[in-house]
């Protein structure tokens, strides 16, 4: 039997919930309920708020700020669920308040703002830019382009060009190291964050970015898959939050352990395998991380060394962790895949102060495991 083809080639997306016996009606209801709780629901679950007649934002409820991470996540959620109204509100808020027009970071988005739109930071976080670009390309393909700033495709391609070419004129820094093709934690540093690596996005950027940039993105996809093999521990599957370019943990500021950022690696591995099935290593990686957490109850999730030593600090986002481990089931072939998905199904969205990050990861997992986290191609490629 040959290697499985990914959904990009087949156009078919696994509905893992359906495979496990949940009905289409139950699954559709769960997706709709999750969206409503996050975007329209009561104050103990909502993370999205309208701002005036035309804008809206996602609030990091634990830090009471608006982050490019959450805004770009919200746009991806909206385009997947065909909510152009919400997408456009979030994008207009981001473009109006977060996009920087001067200084060394011109063309990037300020990673943190107050809910009134004033900036808390003058630097970017590359995970926001890559999600902005991907969501905008999907919007262009799904809905078509409008007048600026709703000319989604041009906005995405311009942003990707900035990410690669920034600094060539001596002002600022690129978001990817142009030599090794690895994404940086922030542009003016030379180390990475394993959870920022989205080879499944880069494969699509290699098709839809400006033609002169496409070879870079193809190389970046290959480089990121190779990097994740280095950064993820070969026995536990755990990755650090920050890592050097050789994959070893960067603990200079205490972020060399498996903690909140790291959770996204499992989700990214699962989705990359679902979309492209380009790296069979990902199946074993998904199995390893699910096996590590198989016998640990969510209320005892902690900070860990990547070798698996539990530390005293409890996880801030246990629901997010169990959600990403469930999403890894898109790649997993081991004995814990079903239990990981059923744990997600049986867990409600998080309530209270820390709900934002958990519930973003929760909705992504529900979309992915229901076959609703899809590649939106341009009309001539469908």
Angle subtended at Cα 323 by Cα 330 and Cα 22, rounded to the nearest 5 degrees: 65
The answer to whether the beta carbons of residues 279 and 272 sit under 8 Å apart is: yes
The answer to whether the beta carbons of residues 32 and 326 sit under 8 Å apart is: no
Q: What is the DSSP string of 353-378?
A: TTHHHHHHHHHHHHHHHTT-------
Confirm whether 217 is domain-assigned: no
pLDDT score at 340? 98
The average pLDDT across 57-62 equals 98
Q: Report the range of poorest mean pLDDT among 251-255, 267-271, 301-305.
A: 251-255
Confirm whether 252 is domain-assigned: yes
Confirm whether 190 is domain-assigned: no
Confirm whether 17 is domain-assigned: yes
Number of domains comprising the chain: 1
Instruction: Provide the residue range defining the domain that includes 316.
Output: 1-41+228-375
What is the C-alpha separation between 152 and 122, in angstroms, rounded? 24
Confirm whether 233 is domain-assigned: yes
SS3 84: helix
154 CB-contact burial (10 Å; exposed 0-12 / middle 13-18 / buried 19+): middle
> Which candidate in 60, 261, 279, 287 is catalytic?
261
What is the C-alpha separation between 276 and 221, in angstroms, rounded? 11
Q: What pLDDT digit, counting tens, does each position of 256-302 carry?
A: 999 999 999 999 999 999 999 999 999 999 999 999 999 999 999 99
Q: Residue 9's Cα: distance from chain center in Å?
A: 22
What is the C-alpha separation between 70 and 125, in angstroms, rounded? 11
Confirm whether 278 is domain-assigned: yes
Q: Torsion angle of alpha carbons 16, 21, 27, 33, nearest 10°?
A: -110
Residue 89 corresponds to which tokens in the numbers above? Answer: 């509100």
Confirm whether 259 is domain-assigned: yes
**What residues form DSSP beta bridges with 60?**
65
pLDDT score at 4? 83
Instruction: Using pLDDT thresholds of 50, 70 and 90, give the confidence band for residue 1.
Output: very low
What is the C-alpha separation between 344 and 304, in angstroms, rounded? 21
Task: Report DSSP state, residue 95.
Answer: I
Q: What pLDDT digit, counting tens, does each position of 203-235 carry?
A: 999 999 999 999 999 999 999 999 999 999 999
What is the C-alpha separation between 288 and 237, in angstroms, rounded? 5
Polymer length in residues for the chain: 382
Q: Is 261 one of the annotated active-site residues of the chain?
A: yes
SS3 236: coil
- Give helix then strand counts, H and E, for the chain: 14, 6
pLDDT score at 370? 98
Q: Say which CATH number the domain at 314 has.
A: 1.50.10.10
pLDDT score at 3? 67
The average pLDDT across 344-348 equals 98
What is the C-alpha separation between 295 and 312, in angstroms, rounded? 18
Q: Is 213 one of the annotated active-site residues of the chain?
A: no
What is the C-alpha separation between 339 and 290, in angstroms, rounded? 9
Q: Which residue has the tokens 């814990």?
A: 336
> Which candidate in 69, 127, 241, 274 is catalytic?
69
Confirm whether 356 is domain-assigned: yes
Answer whether residue 61 shows pLDDT above 90. Answer: yes
pLDDT score at 70? 98
């Amino acid at each position: 039997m040959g290697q499985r083809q990914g959904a990009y080639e087949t156009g078919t997306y696994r509905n893992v919930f359906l495979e496990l016996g949940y009905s289409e009606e139950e699954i559709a209801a769960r997706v709709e309920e999750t969206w409503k709780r996050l975007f329209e629901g009561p104050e103990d679950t909502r993370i999205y708020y309208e701002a005036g007649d035309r804008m809206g934002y996602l609030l990091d409820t634990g830090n009471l700020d608006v982050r490019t991470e959450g805004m770009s996540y919200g746009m991806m959620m909206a385009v997947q669920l065909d909510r152009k109204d919400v997408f456009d509100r979030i994008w207009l808020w981001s473009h109006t308040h977060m996009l920087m027009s001067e200084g060394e970071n011109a063309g990037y988005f300020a990673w943190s703002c107050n809910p009134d739109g004033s900036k808390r930071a003058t630097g970017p976080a590359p995970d926001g830019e890559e999600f902005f670009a991907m969501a905008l390309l999907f919007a262009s393909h799904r809905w078509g382009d409008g007048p600026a700033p709703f000319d989604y495709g041009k906005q995405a391609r311009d942003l990707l060009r900035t990410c690669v070419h920034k600094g060539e004129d001596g002002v600022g820094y690129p978001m990817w190291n142009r030599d090794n093709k690895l994404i940086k934690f922030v542009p003016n540093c030379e180390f990475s964050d394993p959870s920022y690596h989205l080879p499944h996005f880069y494969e699509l950027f290699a098709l839809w970015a400006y033609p002169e940039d496409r070879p870079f993105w193809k190389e970046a996809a290959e480089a990121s898959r190779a990097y994740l093999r280095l950064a993820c521990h070969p026995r536990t599957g755990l990755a650090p939050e920050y890592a050097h370019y050789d994959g070893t943990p960067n603990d200079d500021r205490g972020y060399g352990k498996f903690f909140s950022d790291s959770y996204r690696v499992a989700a990214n591995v699962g989705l990359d395998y679902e979309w492209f099935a380009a790296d069979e290593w990902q199946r074993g990686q998904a199995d390893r991380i699910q096996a590590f957490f198989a016998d640990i109850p969510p209320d005892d999730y902690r900070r860990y060394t990547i070798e698996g030593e539990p530390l005293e600090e409890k996880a801030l986002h246990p629901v997010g962790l169990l959600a990403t481990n469930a999403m890894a089931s898109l790649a997993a072939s081991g004995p814990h895949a079903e239990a990981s998905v059923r744990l997600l199904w049986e867990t409600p969205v998080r309530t209270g102060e820390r709900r934002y990050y958990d519930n973003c990861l929760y909705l992504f997992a529900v979309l992915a495991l229901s076959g609703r986290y899809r590649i939106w191609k341009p009309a001539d490629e469908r």
